[in-house]
Amino acid sequence: MSTGNAMGHFLNEIEKFDDQQAGTQPAWVGTLREFAAERFDQLGFPSTKHEEWRWTNISSVSQGHFAYSAQPANLDEPEILRSALRSALGEVSGPRVVLVNGSFSPALSDLGANIKGLRLLSLAEALEESDPRVEAHLCRYANSNELAFAALNTAFLKDGAVIEIDESACIDAPICIVSLISASKKSDLSLASYPRLLILAGSNSRATVVESTINLGEAESFLNTVSEVVVDEGASLTHVRLQNTNRQNLQVSTLQARLAEQSRYALTTFSLGGALTRNDLTVKLAGPEASCEVNGLCLLQQKQHVDNNVIVDHAVPECTSSQIFKAVLDDESRSIFSGKVIVQPDAQKTFAEQSNRSLLLSDRAESDSRPQLEIYADDVKCSHGATTGSLNEEALFYLRSRGISPETARVLLTEAFAREIADNIELESLREHVLQLLREKLGEDAVEAVA
Amino acid sequence: MLEIKDVHATVGGSEILNGLSLTVNPGEVHAIMGPNGSGKSTLSNVITGRDGYEVTQGSLSFEGKNLLEMPPEIRAREGIFLSFQYPVEIPGVNNTYFLKAALNAKREHHGLEALDAIDFLDLAKEKRELVELDEKLANRNVNEGFSGGEKKRNEIFQMAVLEPKLAILDEVDSGLDIDALRVIAKGINSLRSPERSMILITHYQRLLDYIQPDFIHVLSEGRIVRSGGKELALELEEKGYSWLEKEPAA
């Protein structure tokens, strides 16, 4: 538990928020919020004494002065917006929901109204009209009862994005969710926002969702997101998350996915920005022959800290899961990967693999890897491996012996290590955008090395 | 072109080169032969500037410039090329992309404009044909999954693209069957010119049947103990290296 003071600040914030919402939301939403607020009060912020939080101290969140605000700053200039969207998505184009500080921006969004089989809308709207599908699924997977940050997010349940994909729909264009954080530097309080995403992929549907989060400006902020993903029978969902916030951003994300029979879910997270990022990613394989890939790449510098906590729960037989997490760590950055695979007693014929590889570019960088297998069935194939190393000296010399500068050689070799994760992205415009972001970030290094 | 004078060099504290001197003029092809451990590979590493090889005495100059003051990439841009005995596999780095970057780094060093993708591809195609390197291989990741022969072809392909003034070919024949050796040798011979010098480092006389050197030097215990013309190779073939090892420096 954290100190009473810190909790007091957040509980006050929740109370203020609750007052603001009085009478504006349907009763069932109020009930969800109230329950979550109560649980958050009881759970408190996790401390490093919690096993799951051993490596990540979130006192910068709990002790911070963060205030909920949906008020965007500096958002009236179209050029700023265009360039923000461009840095978030590159050439990726498709229907999009743009959230500014967690609130839906109708002006910046394009809901793709004429795309058959897709219903894309703001969570606020879905709540207002008590969309029955949303009501049936919201808060069913991300557990406010046990997870303090999911409870905190739910206590601020108001807006975000909902993606509903109809049965058998095949959506070619990537569905984009852009989160812009626009904090004002003037205020004594830093900005907190609590967006929420619900993805409902109907049976035998096929779609790609791209989430991109960036800041406008350099002010401090706290972003606490919850995503719930439901992949119905035979559906295939590709989900790519790009986190490229500023170096003052603290982020805690909870994602819970539930996969039905013969469905496929491929989640890839790219952690490039932020001061501190914690991702709790849980995939439950709930129907036979479902498969998931959970991949991630961290590219970190200075004192950036990323903690990926992945749980893949094989609840039924004949499911397949794979996890590949890679980290490139420079300066004093740190990455933590905890990957748990649970194979329930009935989940025979499970195939699960996991790998975690880190490339250390500095003596002061740190990589922690914690693979865990909890296997309660006997006919299963599970593997895991973790490696940590530095750049290959032989390869560096080979490149230099051809005339390539050591800075460029390092960038080439680092990109080679990192790009495996990006190369898995099928959508070309997105793959190119990600590679471009990687190069930009690696290039910063090269420039620094020359200077 | 290359002037090595009384070079002593250490690796991890132990002296491997022990007063080696060698002069290579433009257009000359020199073969350096010698038993294992005589310092052949150390010589190539010292010329190309690999980390961990420390020159404790003597001088190395290339076209009148002090090589010891140049990092490896500058030596390369000045025109020194090493064909590795064991070319490194570099997963994730595209061979064509890497070679274009290398060529353009060299061109920039000489005040020339960078080649664009189209001009580079034309050049690469022409040079690939010299060593019969498959286009698909040339466009894969650097040496990744290449056979021994393919790796050596890729080395000579790179040499053809980079057009060095001095090429050091370290055991270019090792691991090659006779057909592959013929192709590689043909490629190398086609790159001989009055301006381009070569140093062939080899354990076996076999290579010299295919690439005829102007001079042969025998290295032993870090020094050249004997120098001569082509006929020296035949003598070595007959008598082995042991008869030379106790002789005074040439």
Q: What single-letter DSSP state applies at residue B12?
A: T
Mean pLDDT in residue range A319-342: 97
| Strands annotated E in A128-205 | 160-165, 175-182, 190-193, 196-201
Which residues, in sequence order, are bridge partners of residue B176? none
Q: Are B188 and B213 in contact (CB under 8 A)?
A: no
Mean pLDDT in residue range A72-84: 72
Interface with A, mutate which of B78, B93, B169 (most A CBs under 10 A):
B93
Q: Where are the domains of chain A?
A: 8-287, 393-451
Residue contact B98–A412, C-beta within 8 A: yes
Backbone φ, ψ for residue A436 (5° rounding): -60, -45
- Say how far residue A102 (Cα) sits from the centre of its chain: 14
Three-state DSSP class for residue B152: helix
Decide: residue B134, CB within 10 A, 0-12 exposed, 13-18 middle, 19+ buried.
Answer: exposed
Q: What pLDDT is recorded for position A451?
A: 30
pLDDT above 70 for B34: yes
C-alpha span between A419 and B94 (Å, rounded): 12
Mean pLDDT in residue range B34-46: 91
C-alpha span between B248 and B250 (Å, rounded): 6
C-alpha span between A375 and B105 (Å, rounded): 54
Q: What is the pLDDT of residues A12-68, one digit of tens each?
A: 999 999 999 988 999 999 999 999 999 999 999 999 999 999 999 999 999 888 888
Q: Which of A169-173, A296-300, B91-95 has the lowest mean pLDDT?
A: B91-95
Residue contact A408–B105, C-beta within 8 A: yes
Tell me which amino acid residue A156 is. Answer: F
Mean pLDDT in residue range B212-224: 93
Q: What is the pLDDT of residues A138-148, one digit of tens each?
A: 999 988 889 99
CB-based burial, B141-177: b 16+ in 10 Å, e otherwise: bbbbebeebbbbbbbbbbbbbbbbbbbbbbbbbeebe
Q: Are B39 and B222 in contact (CB under 8 A)?
A: yes
pLDDT above 80 for A306: yes
Question: What are B240's two structure tokens?
Answer: 């082995």
Confidence of residue A185 (pLDDT cuts 50, 70, 90): low
Q: What single-letter DSSP state applies at residue B79?
A: T
Beta strands B90-94 and B141-142: pairing type?
Answer: antiparallel
| Strands annotated E in B12-132 | 14-24, 29-33, 53-62, 65-66, 80-83, 90-94
Residues of chain B contacting A420 with CB distance shorter than 8 Å = 92
| Alpha-helical regions (H) of A129-171 | 132-137, 148-155
- Residue for token digits 């050591």? A406
C-alpha span between A156 and A62 (Å, rounded): 16
Q: Which of B246, B247, B237 is nearest to B33 (CA)?
A: B237
Which residues, in sequence order, are bridge partners of residue A212? A178, A242
Three-state DSSP class for residue B162: helix
- Using CA atoms of A430, A433, A434, A438 in order, give the dihedral in degrees to the nearest 10: 170
Backbone φ, ψ for residue B95 (5° rounding): -60, -45
Q: Are B244 and B226 in contact (CB under 8 A)?
A: yes
Q: Are B48 and B70 in contact (CB under 8 A)?
A: no
Which residues, in sequence order, are bridge partners of residue A215? A181
Length of chain B: 250
Mean pLDDT in residue range B159-169: 97
Residues of chain B contacting A405 with CB distance shorter than 8 Å = 73, 105
Higher pLDDT, B38 or A445: B38
The enclosing H or E element of A313 equals strand A305-314
Residues of chain B contacting A413 with CB distance shorter than 8 Å = 90, 92-93
Q: Which of A204-213, A282-291, A316-325, B218-227 has the lowest mean pLDDT?
A: B218-227
- Using CA atoms of A30, A35, A41, A46 in order, give the dihedral in degrees to the nearest 10: -110
Tell me which amino acid residue B101 is. Answer: A
Q: What pLDDT is recorded for position B3?
A: 97
Tell me which amino acid residue B40 is. Answer: K
Residues of chain A contacting B47 with CB distance shorter than 8 Å = none
Decide: residue A192, CB within 10 A, 0-12 exposed, 13-18 middle, 19+ buried.
Answer: buried
Q: What is the pLDDT of residues A196-216, one digit of tens each?
A: 999 999 999 999 999 999 998
Q: Which residue of A has its CA nearest to B73?
A: A403
Q: What single-letter DSSP state applies at residue B87?
A: P
Q: What pLDDT is recorded for position A204?
A: 98
Q: What pLDDT is recorded for position A99?
A: 94
Q: Are A208 and A78 in contact (CB under 8 A)?
A: no
Q: What's the gap in Å between the CA of B149 and the closest CA on chain A?
A: 18
Mean pLDDT in residue range B33-58: 93
Length of chain A: 451
Residues of chain B contacting A419 with CB distance shorter than 8 Å = 92
Q: ipTM of this predicted complex?
A: 0.95
Confidence of residue A449 (pLDDT cuts 50, 70, 90): very low
Q: What single-letter DSSP state applies at residue A284?
A: E
pLDDT above 50 for A149: yes
Q: Which of A291-295, A445-449, B244-248 has the lowest mean pLDDT?
A: A445-449
- Residue for token digits 């290359």? B2
* Residue of A398, A405, A417 with shortest CB distance to B105: A405
Radius of gyration of chain A (CA): 21
Q: What pLDDT is recorded for position B88?
A: 96
- Chain A interface with B: residues with Cβ < 8 Å: 392-395, 397-406, 408, 412-413, 415-417, 419-420
Beta strands A196-201 and A160-165: pairing type?
Answer: parallel
Confidence of residue A82 (pLDDT cuts 50, 70, 90): confident
Residue contact A404–B71, C-beta within 8 A: no
- Residue for token digits 């102007």? B214
Mean pLDDT in residue range A256-276: 97
Higher pLDDT, A338 or B247: A338
Question: What are A136's two structure tokens?
Answer: 């049936």
In chain B, the N- to C-terminal Cα span, in Å, equals 21
Q: DSSP letter string over B195-238?
A: TBEEEEEES-SHHHHHS--SEEEEEETTEEEEEE-THHHHHHHH
Q: Which residue of B has its CA nearest to A398?
A: B88
Higher pLDDT, B88 or B231: B88
Residue contact B90–A395, C-beta within 8 A: yes
Q: Are A356 and A369 in contact (CB under 8 A)?
A: yes
CA triplet A439, A440, A444: central angle to 5 degrees? 110
* Residue of A398, A403, A412 with shortest CB distance to B106: A403
Give the global pTM: 0.88
